[in-house]
């Protein structure tokens, strides 16, 4: 007789053979699945002769070969996709001091079908919807530099130790010759800290601080961004440009410096009906007389006032029946008469001071 009894994973075929050593039967053992996931999971089986008395395997000849069961078919098992997941590395250093990026590796891993290790697979096997970012922002926000600007026009400033005039970049400055000037380039915002560059009227460029500028012992660029000019001279006049720059942008500020000095009239030269103030002149009655009031150094903002021999005052571009003052300060007397002889005075006022000069006019008849 032949009977099969199923005990869990074991299929027993009872075709017992009894001998002195005990009772022997064919036994079918079903193994566990060879994979925990994937496409190749199977269960393997084995047919062997078992000593039921000792519950141990015995040589095949102890069992009845006629009752030996057939080998069970291979059984598929655990055939399901192996778990996959995104794996991330550590973020690297920031790419910049501001508005930078940190990067890291992001890749897909899948559980091997043996269930004991993870293997790297193409990224397409992991869901792109849940893929972690490979970059993240780092560093402070970049801020373009911006100068503080007051847009003032200053004639003079209260003296401070070693510097007579202080201004901010972007202002217009009038300063007396021989005085000292400090131009403050104040950057009110900007990150990272901007680099400051000065450009002088002669085209010289200075980056950062320096003890003294090339070919000059009077002009110094300070660590705080200020530019100091000691004992300002006429050739220091012009535009001083300050440029602040960083990775986020650039800002410019231009300061106009005008150097003024005590005005002086030119050395007088008399030549008939035209003369320079300061020289006495003799003219014929009825002639036209021009008295020039020309400064040694032309100044566009000079204020010139003439006083006639009778105390009548005229400014530039003013005129009367007999007298007129041209835009360049020249006094014109049309048809000079003897009653108009006397001393004529002129005052020239500039930001650098005041100049005065006089001319004595004598009128004679034609012979």
Residue 128 lies in a domain: yes
**Does one domain contain both 293 and 357?**
yes
CA atoms of 52 and 3, how far apart (whole Å): 15
Q: Does 182 map to a domain?
A: yes
Q: Answer yes or no: is pLDDT of 158 > 50.
A: no
User: Are 61 and 105 found together in one domain?
Assistant: no
Q: Tell me which of 107, 122, 141 is where a domain ends.
A: 141
CB 343 within 8 A of CB 362: no
CA 125/CA 38 separation, integer angstroms:
13
Domain co-membership, 250 together with 150:
yes
Beta bridge partners of 227: 183, 221
d(CA 4, CA 12): 5
Look at residue 244 in the predicted model and tell me its pLDDT. Answer: 92
Q: What is the pTM of this model?
A: 0.59
In a domain, 265, yes or no: no
Domain contains 97:
yes
Tokens describing residue 345: 């005075």
Q: What is the CATH number of the domain that holds 348?
A: 2.60.40.10
Which of 47, 76, 105 is the C-terminal boundary of a domain?
Answer: 76
Please report the sign of the dihedral spanned by the C-alpha atoms of residue 292, residue 294, residue 299, residue 304. negative
> pLDDT tens-digit profile of 206-250?
876 654 554 467 888 888 888 999 999 989 999 999 999 999 999
What is the pLDDT at residue 212?
Answer: 52
Closest to 126 in 3D by CA, of 88, 78, 79, 77: 88
Which burial class, exposed, middle or buried, applies to 258 when counting CB atoms under 10 A from its CB (0-12, 13-18, 19+)?
A: middle
Q: Phi then psi for 28, rounded to 5 degrees?
A: -110, 120
Q: HEC profile for 285-347?
A: CCCCEEEECCECCCCCCCEEEEECCCCCEEECCCECCCEEECCCCCEEECCCCHHHCEEEEEE
Do 118 and 155 belong together in one domain?
A: no
Q: What is the pLDDT of residue 161?
A: 44
Does 278 lie in the same domain as 216? no
Question: Which of 235, 260, 285 finishes a domain?
Answer: 260
Contact 82/40 with Cβ under 8 angstroms? no
pLDDT tens digit string along 238-282? 999 999 999 999 999 999 998 888 889 998 887 778 899 999 999
Q: Clarify whether residues 239 and 178 are in a common domain.
A: yes
Task: Flag whether 328 is in a domain.
Answer: yes
Residues 6+ apart with CB under 8 A from 200: 206, 213, 219, 238, 240
**Are 329 and 294 in contact, with CB atoms under 8 Å apart?**
yes
The number of beta carbons lying within 10 Å of the beta carbon of residue 25 is 19
Do 223 and 155 share a structural domain?
A: yes
Residue numbers of the domain that contains 41:
3-76
Decide if 174 is inside a domain: yes
The CA distance from 132 to 177, in Å, is 68
The answer on 53 and 88 residing in a single domain is no
Q: State the total domains in the chain.
A: 4
* Per-residue confidence (pLDDT) for residue 12, from 0 to 100: 40
Secondary structure of residue 113 in the 3-state scheme: coil
- Residue bearing the bigger pLDDT, 33 or 18: 33
CA gap 253, 225 in Å, rounded:
13
* Whether residue 242 sits in one domain with residue 151: yes
Instruction: Assign 151 a pLDDT band (cuts: 50, 70, 90).
Output: low
Q: What is the distance between the alpha carbons of residues 277 and 290, in angstroms, rounded to a whole number?
A: 10
Q: Is residue 221, in this structure, part of any structural domain at all?
A: yes
pLDDT exceeds cutoff 80 at 155: no
The reply to whether 220 and 158 lie within a common domain is yes
Return the SS3 of 72.
coil
Same structural domain for residues 221 and 285?
no
Please list, in sequence order, all residues whose beta carbon lies within 8 angstroms of the beta carbon of residue 252, skipping any fewer than 6 positions away.
Answer: 147, 241, 242, 243
Q: Tell me: the pLDDT tens digits for 126-145?
A: 999 999 999 999 999 999 99
């Amino acid at each position: 007789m032949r009977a099969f009894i199923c005990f869990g994973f074991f299929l027993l075929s009872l075709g017992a053979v009894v001998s002195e050593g005990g009772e022997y039967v064919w036994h079918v053992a079903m193994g566990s699945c060879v994979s925990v996931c994937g496409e190749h999971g199977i269960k393997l089986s084995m047919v062997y002769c078992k000593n039921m008395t000792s519950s141990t395997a015995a040589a095949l000849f102890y069992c009845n070969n006629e009752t030996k069961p057939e080998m069970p078919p291979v059984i598929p098992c655990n055939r399901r996709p192996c778990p996959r997941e995104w794996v991330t590395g550590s973020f690297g250093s920031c790419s910049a001091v501001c508005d930078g990026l940190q990067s890291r590796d992001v890749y897909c891993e899948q559980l091997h079908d043996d269930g004991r290790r993870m293997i790297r697979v193409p990224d397409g096997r992991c869901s792109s919807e849940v893929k972690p970012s490979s970059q993240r922002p780092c560093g402070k926000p970049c801020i373009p530099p911006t100068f503080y600007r007051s847009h003032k026009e200053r004639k003079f400033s209260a003296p401070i130790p070693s510097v007579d005039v202080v201004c901010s970049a972007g202002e217009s400055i009038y300063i007396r010759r021989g005085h000292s000037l400090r131009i403050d380039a104040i950057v009110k915002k900007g990150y990272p800290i901007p680099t400051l560059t000065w450009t002088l009227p002669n085209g010289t460029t200075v980056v950062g601080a320096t003890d003294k500028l090339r070919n000059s012992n009077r002009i110094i660029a300070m660590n705080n961004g200020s530019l100091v000019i000691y004992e300002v001279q006429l050739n220091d006049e012009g535009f001083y440009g300050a440029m602040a720059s960083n990775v986020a942008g650039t800002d410019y500020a231009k300061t106009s410096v005008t150097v003024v000095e005590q005005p002086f009239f030119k050395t007088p030269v008399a030549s008939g009906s035209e003369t320079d103030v300061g020289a006495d002149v003799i003219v014929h009655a009825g002639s036209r007389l021009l008295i020039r009031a020309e400064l040694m150094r032309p100044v566009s903002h000079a204020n010139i006032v003439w006083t006639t021999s009778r105390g009548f005052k005229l400014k530039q571009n003013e005129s009367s029946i007999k007298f007129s003052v041209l835009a360049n300060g020249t006094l014109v007397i049309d048809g000079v008469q003897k009653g108009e002889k006397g001393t004529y005075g002129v005052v020239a006022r500039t930001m650098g001071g005041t100049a005065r000069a006089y001319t004595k006019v004598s009128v004679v008849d034609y012979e």
